[in-house]
Structure 1
Amino acid sequence: MIYCRISQDRTGAGLGVDRQREDCEALAERNGWDVVEVYVDNDVSAFSGKLRKDYRRMLADLDEGKATVVIVWHTDRLTRSIVELEEYIELSDRRGISTHTVQAGTIDLATPSGRMTARILGAVARQESEHKGHRVARARQQKAMAGEWAGGIRPFGWGVPTGEVRTKVDRKTGEEVEVPELDMLKAVPEEAEALRTWTDMMLSGGSIRSLVQWCAAKGMTTTRGNAVTHTDMRDMLMRPRNAGIAVYKGQEVGRGKWEAIVDEAKFRAVVAILSDPSRRTSRGTQPKWLGSMLYRCGRGDCPEFVYVTQSGGRRFPSYRCRSAHGGGRRAEIVDQYVEDTLVERLSRDDAHELLLPTPDDVDVAALQAETEEIRGRMRNLAGMYGAGQIDEVQFAEGTDTARGQMEGITQQLARAALVDPLVELVGAKDPRKVWRALPLDRKRTVLRSLVEVTLKTPRQGRMPDGGYFDYDAVHFEWKRRTSASR
């Protein structure tokens, strides 16, 4: 049996595996052995812990007695895991298997000295893998600290074709394809515009769900060509790269050399919104009614929110709470009355007084300068820890303090960028027309921001207007007041 493995095949061509197989087949021919089967694991590291399917299949075949000789190019192609090596030694001893390598000769696992040699070679191979991993990590850290692109999946928003191409092998088809070289420091215009649009929509009261629907309607996909999911959208909005900020292992380390797409204050405002622990993150059924889980039940001392149900054989959708309080709360009538009341209030001459004050006290430039200072302290802490000048506890305490300061700045910058959800309506030539054009999630944001609606116990029988709906049972508690209402 021949076993071949290469841990990283950047082109997908499998050339490293082919060379190993040729050398192993030549060794078998010199010794007059017939090759029963060749087992190949391409682009799979023995050190990573990922499943090597052909390696496991080879062990099963050896255990069944299909062969008693294994040829590998070098022992580190067979295994770099001490646990796997011991398993292989036990199997070799039990089944009388001899192992031959092209580079290191015969490894006699039936003798103590042979097993010792195998273990030493395994330990050396493991040290080489760990050292390589450290070098790669250090190179990525160095690039991040310098504000350079450290590689990986193309982030949404960047990667303009340079006009040059390179050839790679498609792993699915095995065919050679040409792919464009990308400049990762330049923004892709249509994707950059989408990021700015999403940011503004979030700051105006939009939801992740509405942004995902926007992508579906526009045909916008991820950089891998997949439909944008809730998780994708959240990750893209919270990516520091959007604001030109470089990150290493989740921590901000400085300014990147690439083009910033989103203003930093806006970026931090979105982060504050999406990180707010009070924000509802349930991805359940999308609300279809204006007041679902926003209106309160006012039956007695009931503290519940209401939702719409057609249970009990009711002919019309009605609001009721989890305590089964309902009746006289026709959903379409309640919502229309609430909408009419909101629009009427936002159409008055003093409606501008409802707007939240502009945070003129926020010095954005000073806060951004302070952010750079904090990043510098975090880099210094990392350097001192690496040089052994401070211990792990001091490093952790210092970085925790810096992160706390950074979070405080994020909250302040967020205040400078948040958009009052009433802005579009107040002062509009036709507030009702603007209201009707808003998607439901934006209407719910306005409602949540401006008023608390409570559905009291309705009166029975015909009302003074000749109908049977008790409008007086819909109670409004305004959260923002004008000078005329004080």
Structure 2
Amino acid sequence: MTSITTTNTIDVVSYCRVSSHGQGESGLGLEAQREYIARAAQQNGWNIVGEFVDVVSGKLAIEDRPEGKRALTACKELGAQLVVAKLDRLSRDVEHIAGLMKRVDFKVATMPRAQTLELHLFAALAQQEREFIANRTKEALAALQKRADGGDVQSIDKIARRSEALEKGRTDANRTKASEAVQDRVNSWQESVRDPIDLCIRRGGRTLQQVADCLNSKGITTSRGGQWSSMQVSRVMKNLTLHFPAKDAAV
């Protein structure tokens, strides 16, 4: 790979992580991470000397992941810093981030000038945000069930589809498992489109419809495999707490 010839050039090792084999094979999420890193490298004079990609849960510490361990070794051998697209690609656990800070210098492409204290703070805020998202999902499911109990036809249909797999054993335990499974699928899918939506905004999308058009042009579908509308974008951005730049209005 060609080095960037500036006096401030530093060598970095690129590390990407996706959570499932489906994401790894399709490139969903991985393409966005590479774009984040490539753009940050170009803008900040970083020379990418290696790339490592893991298909593994973020619950594991990076040193316990096959490619993560290799990435750390490469940083040590090459005297390079580790770079990730976003902080949660390293870990979703604040303790893991804090431990990593003691062993290796690393950079985050979406906030390239952040220092150690700032990164630790961002990690803590990200963990809190994920807890908020999980709580909102639970509340949304409870509201959907309430509307279904009140006779709302669409809500009844949605509840029926989500419970279809458990029709033969509808115990309280099964209902709890069904609710947890739905929540996990919702959270997982929403996280899979976080980076594509964020990139559409960074590329100049300033309205909900522009973001929808951007997603559709990239072949990224909704959870049901359809085309995006402005309303669907609005709903997902709200759940993920994604926002347009303050000076712009999303209409």
TM-score by structure 1 length?
0.27
Q: Which has the greater radius of gyration?
A: 1
TM-score by structure 2 length?
0.48
Q: Which has the higher strand share?
A: 1
* Higher RCO by CA contacts (8 Å cutoff, separation 6 or greater): 2
Q: Which has the higher helix share?
A: 2
